[in-house]
Amino acid sequence: MTTHWLDKVRWDANGLVPVIAQEVGSNDVLMFAWMNREALRLTVEHKRAVYFSRSRNKLWFKGEESGHVQHLHEIRLDCDEDVVLLKVEQVSGMACHTGRHACFFQKFEGTAGDGEWVTVEPVLQDPTTIYK
């Protein structure tokens, strides 16, 4: 098996690349994560999002615990070749470990002097029922 296409990606000093997951259809940005070479190769091979957890120092198949799998539709590489965009179908409609549709559920409102982050997306499922 040839994996020369992986060499085009500009991996950081830790062998990682940032990844944005975007929902096919709605174009919602669901989440941000990291991949190493193996995670990207497995994502292509399985047509399912596989990420690298920096805190656990291991690969994780999105949805392996929660069931909230991301089926791969398309992969894009940015102009600097150092960010990957996954266009995915989000199973169950939830991508965030907080039980929300997307990880970007906090919106800045106000000014630089008196602004605040406001939660604008509802919890769809209690995370304590997802991760046991």
**Inter-residue contact 71 to 89 (CB < 8 Å):** yes
Q: What angle do CA 36, 32, 89 make, to 5 degrees?
A: 95
Q: Is 28 annotated as a binding residue?
A: no
Q: Is 79 annotated as a binding residue?
A: yes
Q: Is 114 annotated as a binding residue?
A: no
User: Burial of 42 by CB count in 10 Å (0-12 exposed, 13-18 middle, 19+ buried)?
Assistant: middle
Q: Is 80 annotated as a binding residue?
A: yes
Q: Is 103 annotated as a binding residue?
A: yes
Q: Is 12 annotated as a binding residue?
A: no
3-state secondary structure of 28: coil
Burial letters 66-86, b for 16+ CB under 10 A, else e: bebbbebeebeeeeeeebbbb
The C-alpha atoms of residue 87 and residue 19 are separated, in whole angstroms, by: 11
* Binding residue positions for Mg(2+): 78, 80, 82
Annotated binding site: 78-80, 82, 96, 103
Residues tagged in the binding site annotation for Zn(2+): 79, 96, 103
